[in-house]
């Protein structure tokens, strides 16, 4: 004899508990947390370096990479509090890892905590880390067709950053298609074009961060 038992529970229940605890603690502190997701080499670390140099914002970074401390060293040189997490082959970060990494950061003195996720457009988008929002990064050499090919990331992010825009004159990047596809997936997400090397467009990004930080601090309990 068998019977059916209704459960209706989330598959990721365990992970969601960690994410909820992180969200709750950030809420109390009024600390904004942003999950930065993009391909390897799309310019995530470069944008964070530029943000450190030009914004005056106080932020910390959790760096996710399969191997090496290279990204953490780059940010450390600029005086950014940073923790490197090596996933040893894992393609994304999960909330339990983030909770642990946060313990080594001076959270009370930060305006923003960035998680630079493992370079990958697929899995990192799926795992809730307790962040306020995801930022999707795409660099122009990757091609304008990518949002529709990786729809979950682009539809679940609050902002889309198009990086390496200085290369546009040399690439067959179809800006119209890119903009239309992002709009279709995520009508409300702003698209910000940046060049992390020169700082072009970075002001618009930091203005958005400032606005989100303000909202977060206002709602802090």
Partner 1 sequence: MHEVSLAESIAASLIDLKKEQGWGRIVEVRLRIGALRQVFPEILCFAFETLTKGTELEGAGLAIDDVPISFRCRDCGACWAGDDSLCPECGSMHRETVAGNELEIESVEVEEQI
Given candidates 41, 152, 171, 208, which one binds partner 1 under the rule CB under 8 A? 152
Of 28, 70, 100, 184, the one binding partner 1 (CB under 8 A) is 184
Does residue number 4 form part of the binding site for partner 1 (CB under 8 A)?
yes
Question: Which are the contacts of 39, defined by CB distance < 8 A and separation ≥ 6?
Answer: 119, 120, 121, 137, 138, 139, 142
DSSP letters, 149-182, are HSHHHHHH-SEEEEE-GGGGGGS---HHHHHHHH
**Which residue, 7 or 221, is less far from partner 1 as judged by CB?**
7
Q: What is the DSSP code string of 30-78? A: T-EEEEEEE-TTSSHHHHHHHHHHHS---EEEEEEESS-SHHHHHHHTT
Taking the complex as a whole, the smallest distance from the CB of residue 4 to partner 1 amounts, in Å, to 5
Q: Is 20 in the site for partner 1 (CB under 8 A)?
A: no
Q: Would you count residue 191 as binding partner 1 (CB under 8 A)?
A: no
The residue from 15, 63, 111, 131 that contacts partner 1 (CB under 8 A) is 15
Q: Count the site residues for partner 1 by CB under 8 A.
A: 32
Applying CB under 8 A, which part among 66-74, 133-141, 157-165, 179-187 lies near partner 1? 179-187
Q: Is 8 in the site for partner 1 (CB under 8 A)?
A: yes
Cα 74 from chain centre: 18
**C-beta closer to partner 1: residue 78 or 122:** 122
Q: What is the CA radius of gyration of the chain?
A: 18
Among 30, 141, 143, 151, binds partner 1 (CB under 8 A): 151
The region of 48-56, 157-165, 180-188, 210-218 touching partner 1 under the rule CB under 8 A is: 180-188
Which one of residues 20, 67, 78, 122 is an interface residue with partner 1 (CB under 8 A)?
122
For residues 170-189, one letter each, b for 16 or more C-beta atoms within 10 angstroms of the residue's C-beta and e for the rest, the string is eeebeeeebeebbeebbeeb
Selected binder of partner 1 within 73, 126, 145, 215 (CB under 8 A): 126
C-beta neighbour count of 207 within 10 angstroms: 12
List of long-range contacts for 70-77, beta carbons under 8 Å, 24+ apart: 71/45, 71/116, 74/45, 74/49, 75/45, 75/48, 75/49
User: Which residues would be at the binding site for partner 1 (CB under 8 A)?
Assistant: 1-15, 91-92, 94, 122-123, 126-127, 151-152, 155-156, 183-188
């Amino acid at each position: 004899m068998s019977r059916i038992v209704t459960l209706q529970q989330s598959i990721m229940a365990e992970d969601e508990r960690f994410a909820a605890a992180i969200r709750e603690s950030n809420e109390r502190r009024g600390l904004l947390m942003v999950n930065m997701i993009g391909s390897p080499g799309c310019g995530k670390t470069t944008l964070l370096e530029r943000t450190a140099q030009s914004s005056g914002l106080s932020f910390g970074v959790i760096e996710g990479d399969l191997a090496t401390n290279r990204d953490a060293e780059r940010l450390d040189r600029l005086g950014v509090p940073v923790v490197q997490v090596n996933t040893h082959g894992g393609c994304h970060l999960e909330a339990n890892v983030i909770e642990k990494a946060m313990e080594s950061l001076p959270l009370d003195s930060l305006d923003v905590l960035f998680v630079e996720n493992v370079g990958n457009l697929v899995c990192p988008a799926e795992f809730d880390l307790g962040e306020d929002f995801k930022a999707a990064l795409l660099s122009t050499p990757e091609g304008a067709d990518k949002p529709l090919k990786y729809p979950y990331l682009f539809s679940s992010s609050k902002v889309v950053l198009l990086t390496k825009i200085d290369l546009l004159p040399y690439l067959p990047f179809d800006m119209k298609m890119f903009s239309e596809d992002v709009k279709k997936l995520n009508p409300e997400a702003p698209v910000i074009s940046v060049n992390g090397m020169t700082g072009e467009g970075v002001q618009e990004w930091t203005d958005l961060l400032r606005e989100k930080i303000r909202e977060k601090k206002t709602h802090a309990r």
